[in-house]
A and B are shown apart, each in its own frame.
Chain A
Amino acid sequence: MENFEPKIVAFVCNWCTYAGADLTGTSRIKYAPNVKIIRFPCTGRIDFMILMKAFVNGADGIIVSGCHPNDCHYTSGNFHARRRWMVFRNLLDIMGVDLERITFSWVSAAEGAKWAEIVNSTVDKIKKLGPYENYKKLADSQQLKEVIHG
């Protein structure tokens, strides 16, 4: 699909990845514009359902990123997040969600280049995968276009 521009939503922590993304900008490193960044105080605060809300609202891929282990601004938020992601990822796997569309990363405030690389590679990957049709169809069921019969 040549003209397909994926919509990516990134859930990032304020202290590391958000600052890192800022550095990417101030360093004038070019990277794909497809990402909408949502800032959280810490990855530990990211609820698993909110990741799925991105898909429901039309995202084709998501990025979740925070401080490296041992560097969490709140000491252990990212450790809890890591465990939560391991469990949630397993659940998504058994439920048939496309895990290729979710990128997890640790990006520190000094890693402007890494952020660009994460975004660019994710956008490339999603471009190849195409729009997330399965989830779009699921989200469409909210419109109740057809009456459900049995």
Chain B
Amino acid sequence: MKLLKKEALPILFEKINSAGKVIYAPVENHGQLVYQRVSAYDEVKKDYIQTVQSAKYVVFPKIEKLLDYQNSKDGTSLSEAVIDELPEIVLFGVRPCDAAGFDVLKAVFTWDFNDKFYIERAKKLTIIGLSCSKCDNECFCTSVGLNPGSTKGSDILLTKNNEGDYLAEIVTDKGQAMVSLCTDLFSDHKDDNKENYLTKVPVKFEKDAAIEKSTKSFENEQIWFDQAMRCLGCGACTYVCPTCSCFDIQDEGTSSKGIRYRCWDSCGLSQFTIHTSGHNPREEQSQRWRQRILHKYSYQPERLQVLGCVGCGRCSRSCPVDMNIAEHVETIAEIEL
């Protein structure tokens, strides 16, 4: 355990900047907390619970170019998007739930195919996490196998103590590399019990029960129908979620030149599964809602050995009609089979 004094933070930022890296941290923008590029520590929002949007766009932007194409009489030429010149990014102030979310993205993007766009960005990303001294009603990290001080996914995890200084756990080699930029800022510290500075997040449901019951509830149409009735079928929950990773690929341009890009897509949208024939296997919202829950609580655990939900609660906060995922999963976990 190291200690990072509060006066050291602005200096840490300066050191990171001079090393040519770019820092992203929570700032207030248009009345909301979002992760944005910052140059100095004083721009960072202090004392908050959670941002509205997740930080996943640093490894999975809302839109990115895949390739350029050009048609001429000699044929078609393609040039792939250049990704080796991406900057090194340091994400500062990421909550433990969000940090764990990056592990889920990694599982998806390196599962059966190595997504080079994700990989290149993830290689250049260092995560400085910040554990939670406060939580709200929507947080439920403790129900999905995490906790407010979890180091999963973070390269360095900071925990603020009562003096306003930060206990620093150097979790990975990348974290160590970050520390070596400014070793004098990190002093050795007698093992302080970080639990003293963490909030308590009440457990809402039992994780394994949630996984088991959701897996076995595929054919229980009533429960999905009941839960999904008010769901509007927009993509708000998907896009603010730190682990959702579905995307659409489109070509845009003229017959002579254009680009191919990928952008975020949502399984909640009605046309998500429409086939070229016109058939839509998920025509009703209850089917789409079922897919959302099962994808996170059944398919991903089974096939990727990772739970697809990190309990950040963003979806519940952003949903226009209060689709509260913890509430829904709690109901499922309590089904009598």
A residues bordering B, Cβ < 8 Å? 142-144, 147-150
Q: Which of B58, B259, B261 contacts A149 (CB 8 A)?
A: B58
Partner of B64, one of A142, A147, A150: A147
> Is A148 a contact of B24 with CB atoms below 8 Å?
no
- CB contacts (< 8 Å) of B35 on chain A: these are 150
User: Is A148 within 8 A of B62, CB to CB?
Assistant: yes
Q: B37: which A residues are within 8 A, CB to CB? A: 149-150
Task: Judge whether B24 and A144 touch: CB under 8 Å.
Answer: no
Which B residue's beta carbon lies closest to that of A147?
B61
Establish whether residues B64 and A143, one from each chain, have CB atoms under 8 Å apart when the complex forms: no
Q: Are B86 and A150 within 8 A (Cβ)?
A: no
Contacts A148-B64, A149-B37, A150-B35 aside, 4 further interface pairs with beta carbons under 8 A come to A144-B64, A144-B65, A148-B62, A149-B58
Instruction: Judge whether B259 and A147 touch: CB under 8 Å.
Output: no
Cα of A150 to Cα of B23 in the assembled complex, Å: 13
Chain B interfacial positions (CB closer than 8 Å to A): 24, 34-37, 53, 57-58, 61-65, 86, 252, 259, 261
Across-interface contacts of B62 in A (CB, < 8 A): 148
Which residue from chain B places its CB closest to the CB of A57 in the assembled complex?
Answer: B254
Residue of A142, A143, A147 contacting most chain B CB atoms (<10 Å) = A147
Please report the C-alpha to C-alpha distance between residue A95 and residue B232 in the assembled complex, in whole angstroms. 28
Is there an interface contact between A144 and B259, defined as CB atoms closer than 8 Å?
Answer: yes
25 pairs across A/B with beta carbons < 8 Å?
A: A142-B252, A142-B259, A143-B65, A143-B259, A144-B63, A144-B64, A144-B261, A147-B61, A148-B57, A148-B61, A148-B62, A148-B63, A148-B64, A149-B24, A149-B37, A149-B57, A149-B58, A149-B61, A150-B24, A150-B34, A150-B35, A150-B36, A150-B37, A150-B53, A150-B57
Question: Chain B residues near A143 (CB, 8 Å)?
Answer: 65, 259
Q: In the complex, A150→B63 CA distance in Å?
A: 11
Please give the distance in Å from A69's CB to the nearest CB on chain B.
36
Residue of A nearest to B36 (CB): A150
Cα A46 to Cα B186 with chains together (Å): 67
Q: Is B252 a contact of A147 with CB atoms below 8 Å?
A: no
- Name the B residues within 8 Å of A147 (CB-CB): 61, 64, 86
Interface centre among A142, A143, A150 (most CB of B within 10 A): A150
Q: What 8 A-B pairs come out closest when comparing CB atoms? A: A144-B65, A150-B36, A147-B61, A148-B61, A150-B35, A150-B34, A144-B261, A147-B64
Of A142, A143, A148, A149, most B-chain CB atoms within 10 Å: A149
> Complex: how many Å from CA A149 to CA B36?
7
The answer for the CA separation of A142 and B250 in the assembled complex, in Å, is: 12
A144 to B86, CA, bound (A): 14
Quote the shortest CB–CB distance from B55 to chain A (angstroms).
Answer: 8
Residue on A nearest B55 in the bound complex, by CB: A150
Complex CA–CA separation, A37 to B53 (angstroms): 46
Q: How far is the CB of A54 from chain B (nearest CB, A)?
A: 14
